Structure 1
Amino acid sequence: MSYEEITLETEEKMEKATSVFSDELKGIRTGRATPGLIENIRVEYYGSPTPLKQISSISVPEPRMLVVKPFDVSVMKNIEKALLKSDLGMTPNSDGKILRLQVPALSEERRKQIVNQVKELAEKAKISIRNIRRDSNKQADQLEKSSEISEDDCKALKEEVQDFTKKFEDKVNEYFDKKQKEILEN
């Protein structure tokens, strides 16, 4: 593996770790309705578990309400079952064509629990980024050991990897701060 390949792979992997964290945040409840809360819930659809967003449209007509309109009305009961099984604490109301979900307000204690949950996810994302850094630094050392790159190039590569690490950890912190603010506001 060359210098350029290591830097490209490192940046790619760190970007992926950050985007996974960002996607996880979408599914965390904040007291405000957002399609991300339910779009990845798996619904039994003709024998296979399918994400809700693939079999219905999800809209937010009011700040605390979600509306789910299935493309195929015959799957309505399965959607209701899947929503009830999920641990969101929301009961769907159906009129036969659409489902309405009222997003309840969060208590202060519950908000703090959710912030701690988000903090744990952020820490996992940072650990993942640091593990990528460790692996990249090992690869740099191996290149230097096998005389494919000079000592100076090895040092420069490690500095570049450290810059990526800082950049993506800052991004994770930014996502965390934004989500924390969103959760704690009423």
Structure 2
Amino acid sequence: MSGPVDLNDIKRRMDGAITAFKSDIASLRTGRASANILDPITVEAYGSRVPLNQVANISVPEPRMLSVSVWDKQMVGAVDRGIRESNLGLNPIMDGQNLRIPLPELNEERRKSLVKVAHDYAEKAKVAARHVRRDGMDALKKAEKDGTLGQDDSRAQSEKVQKMTDDTISEVDRLLAEKEKEIMQV
């Protein structure tokens, strides 16, 4: 804790925005198979929605193929339905308790739409960082108004909060540029 405003908490929350962004872009499909593609999928299981990885093993047997091995035979239909309804453009092939998911080749149009989705995720992360900055700045103004923090200390901490925000946004931009390059690579 540094003064009336916890800069470590602000840093932790901004790091959380970056972590969420990394998770979001990891689920975007590029030219090769990755088990992370199926991370956002939830399935109807035992009366509630659960993440796919809690009802099945996901593996990558080939560069353009995913394999989902469902643990409970009765869940195969729900897993198949969850994958098809996920808007990822995947069509699983049932093989007993296993689902094989061939990944279609990405065309130029699909690549561009994935880049747009990545930009949306980046904007969401930047907005989250700006919200954290606003909360920190509001707390600093309140502390200054209440007299628990001097004007010079408030200004110094405001600059630290702004620097954290700038660093977070530049990290999001860097990750976005990497992902965009990966998506557009043929």
Q: Partner of 2:109 in structure 1? A: 109
Residue 69 of structure 1 deviates from its aligned partner by 0.6
Whole-angstrom CA distance in 2 between matches of 1:58 and 1:39: 10
Partner residue in 1 for 2:97? 97
Provide the secondary structure at the position in 2 that maps to 1:44. Answer: strand
Give the Å deviation of 1:107.
0.8
**Local SS of the residue matching 2:6:** helix
1:33 to partner: Cα distance: 1.3
Q: Is the 8 A contact 1:39 1:58 kept in 2?
A: no
Please, what TM-score do these two structures have when normalized by structure 1?
A: 0.92
Q: Which residue is equivalent to 1:159?
A: 159
Residue 62 in structure 1 maps to residue 62 in structure 2: yes
- Of stretches 41-50 and 62-71 in structure 1, the one that deviates more from structure 2 is 41-50
> Could you say which residue in structure 1 is the equivalent of 2:181?
181
Listed as ranges, the gaps of 5+ residues in structure 1 are none
Secondary structure in structure 1 of the residue aligned to 2:104: coil
Structure 1 residue aligned with 2:76: 76
The answer to whether residue 49 in structure 2 is matched with residue 49 in structure 1 is yes
Percent of aligned pairs with the same amino acid: 37
Whether the 8 Å CA contact 1:40–1:53 is kept in 2: the answer is: no
Distance 1:182 1:67 in 2: 23
Instruction: Assess, with a 3 A threshold, how the Cα gap between structure 1 residues 120 and 39 changes in structure 2: closer, same or farther.
Output: closer
1: CA distance between counterparts of 2:123 and 2:78?
A: 35
- Aligned residues of 2:38 and 2:52 also touching (Cα < 8 A): yes
Counting matched residue pairs gives 186
Displacement of 1:5: 4.0
Q: What CA distance in whole angstroms lies between the structure 2 residues aligned with 1:4 and 1:185?
A: 48
2:60 alignment partner, SS class: strand
> What does residue 23 of structure 2 align with?
23
Gaps of 5+ in 2: none
SS of alignment partner, residue 60 of structure 1: strand
Tell me the SS of whatever aligns to 1:49.
Answer: strand
CA distance in 2, matches of 1:9, 1:179: 28
Deviation at 1:179, TM superposition (A): 1.1
Query: How far does the alpha carbon of each residue in 1:107-131 deviate from its partner, in whole angstroms, 9 at most, with x for none?
Result: 1122112112211221221122112
Question: Which runs of 4 or more aligned residues in structure 1 lie more than 6 Å from their structure 2 counterparts after TM superposition?
Answer: none
Output the CA distance in 2 between the equivalents of 1:38 and 1:82.
10
Q: Does 1:11 align with 2:11?
A: yes
